[in-house]
Structure 1
Amino acid sequence: MMRIIVALMLREMATTYGKSAGGYIWAVLEPVLGVALLSLIFSLALNRPGLGTNFPLFYATGFLPFAMFNDLTNKVASAIRFSRPFLAYPSVTFIDAMIARVLLNALTHTAVIAIVLIGIYVIFQLPVVVNLASVFESLLLVALLAVGVGTLNCYLMTAFPIWERIWQILTRPLFLMSGIFFTYDLMPTQAQNFLWYNPLIHCVGLMRQGIYPTYQGSYISQGYVIGISVALLVLGLMLLERSHRDLLER
């Protein structure tokens, strides 16, 4: 199984990054440019960010976990379509294809997040007071949530292609609803009561709790994120296990 997963990971590395100019450089440049743009826009409108005094650090702690979730979800959701030629072999299963995509892209995003955050600390000469346990816990929850959502979407998008477009429409507000621009604590009470049920806002809050030592984040519930993620993962796996052979013929 490990040899199959490694082979699938190497194939994706070659097809996803090997054909583009610069390869993995773009994986780093894309979030850097995103954080830089957000920082520039909001620094012109606001005197200071929601936490601390550094705009790039604040928006990086919100944008990077969101980007990781969004990309991982899409990669898991398209795992069957991406590896369809290899799934014809009896030794290769859809679980192998999903694990390979999760491992490769989770490691890629973790490396990118580390590079971007370290770069911000070095360039702006910020004092490094980081709770690595909270940061890694946030990344694990983001990955788990993305796997749960992506697994269910893997079935829905393969069985019902129209769901891919519906999902894109439904998730567009997530960029505004995940605490990237403002912390949960600064939002109106009515918004808090609604947005608390967005698991991503807990992941972003946990990330900021690790970066900003004075940030409490009392609303954060790891158990809620884990419960939602596991429920979606189990449901998605049950549906795929029952009908993945039929899906391969579509």
Structure 2
Amino acid sequence: MLHAIWLQMRVVAALTLRETRMTFGTSHVGYLWAIAQPVISVGFMVGLFYLIGRQAPFGASLALFFATAVLTLDLYNKLSVSLMRAFTTNKSLLSYPMIKEPDTLFARLTLIALTFLVIDALVYGGLMVVGWAELPAHPERLLYAFGTTCFLGFGVGAINAMLYQRTQAWQHVEKLVARPLFFLSGVFYIPSALPPEAVAVLKWNPLLHIVEWTREGFYANYRSDVLNIAYPLSLAAVLVIIALFAERITRKQRA
């Protein structure tokens, strides 16, 4: 049993290294671009709000308020989209008996999670250096929120991978579903300050809860009336179980 687990861990590690070369290439430009994308997104919104004379919805730093949401959304979107193509792009490798479809999912999850740990550290660290952020009040909540984002992104990405394998037209449906998330996840507003009718709709978005969790981790006096930690965690668990079970029972059909 332990030998089998160790073997699969080595397989996932090897696949992760392969994914790293495929994603970023052999130069440092790919790594720099991965860091630059969320920085550009945050910078654009800060500049827009500055030009129209808007203040930060909470706290003194527009950049920090936006970063807590943008980095969470970027991590989720990267997982859901990248994992969707994990089976098809690694199809040639799946002919090897020791490599299974879930291994490709775990490899991409590992690479993306580690990449965003670096991105988050650099972005938040940079904001602290220039005086636009202070040390997080509750760093453990930041880690829990980050892990939950990975968990949810993995569940959605695994479901997407199963559906995309059936029909590549699913990628267009996924784009339509994911597009409104930017406006429904509290990027530039405080959900608790909205009318109850709006909150009743927005609270069905699991990413909104994770963004609120992240902000509670950074701000000492941020209290969310919307946050329900159990909701994104339970939804992620259900999606992961469904995806892995579906992959298992359909494996012989695809062989």
Q: Give the TM-score category using the shorter length.
A: over 0.9
Counterpart in 1 of 2:241?
Answer: 234
Alignment of structure 1 residues 186-225 onto 2, 5 Å: 186-225=193-232
User: What amino acid is the match of 1:156?
Assistant: L
Secondary structure of 1:209 counterpart: helix
Please state how far the C-alpha of 1:48 moved relative to its aligned partner: 1.2
Preserved CA contact (<8 Å) 1:159 1:247: no
Counterpart in 1 of 2:5?
Answer: none
Q: 1:246 to 1:46 in 2, by over 3 A?
A: farther
Matched, 1:87 2:94: yes
Mapped partners of 1:23, 1:66: distance in 2: 20
Counterpart in 2 of 1:11?
Answer: 18
Secondary structure of 2:187 counterpart: coil
Please state how far the C-alpha of 1:47 moved relative to its aligned partner: 3.2
Preserved CA contact (<8 Å) 2:64 2:132: no
Unaligned runs of 5+ in 2: 1-7
Counterpart in 1 of 2:142?
Answer: 135
Unaligned runs of 5+ in 1: none
Please state how far the C-alpha of 1:102 moved relative to its aligned partner: 0.4
Secondary structure of 2:222 counterpart: coil
Q: 1:19 to 1:246 in 2, by over 3 A?
A: farther
Q: 1:126 to 1:91 in 2, by over 3 A?
A: closer
Q: Output one character per residue of 1:158-206: Cα deviation in whole Å (capped at 9) or x when no partner.
A: 1122111011012111111011111211222211000101000000000
Please state how far the C-alpha of 1:2 moved relative to its aligned partner: 1.7
Secondary structure of 1:221 counterpart: coil
How many matched pairs? 248
Please state how far the C-alpha of 1:130 moved relative to its aligned partner: 2.7
Preserved CA contact (<8 Å) 1:57 1:120: yes
Counterpart in 2 of 1:28?
Answer: 35
Q: 1:15 to 1:127 in 2, by over 3 A?
A: closer
Please state how far the C-alpha of 1:152 moved relative to its aligned partner: 1.0
Please state how far the C-alpha of 1:20 moved relative to its aligned partner: 6.2
Matched, 1:56 2:63: yes
Counterpart in 1 of 2:160?
Answer: 153
Preserved CA contact (<8 Å) 2:61 2:132: no
User: What amino acid is the match of 2:62?
Assistant: F
Alignment of structure 1 residues 163-178 onto 2, 5 Å: 163-178=170-185
Secondary structure of 1:181 counterpart: coil
Please state how far the C-alpha of 1:21 moved relative to its aligned partner: 6.2
TM-score (norm 1): 0.94
Mapped partners of 1:128, 1:232: distance in 2: 34
User: What amino acid is the match of 1:78?
Assistant: R
Q: 1:129 to 1:70 in 2, by over 3 A?
A: closer
Mapped partners of 1:198, 1:12: distance in 2: 30
Please state how far the C-alpha of 1:238 moved relative to its aligned partner: 1.6
Q: 1:67 to 1:128 in 2, by over 3 A?
A: same
Counterpart in 1 of 2:79?
Answer: 72
Q: Output one character per residue of 1:107-143: Cα deviation in whole Å (capped at 9) or x when no partner.
A: 1112101110110111126432431111001101101
**Segment of structure 1 superposing worse, 236-245 or 109-118:** 236-245
Mapped partners of 1:49, 1:125: distance in 2: 12
103, 114, 121: which one aligns with 2:121: 114
**What value does the CA root-mean-square deviation take over the aligned residues?**
1.5
Counterpart in 1 of 2:3?
Answer: none
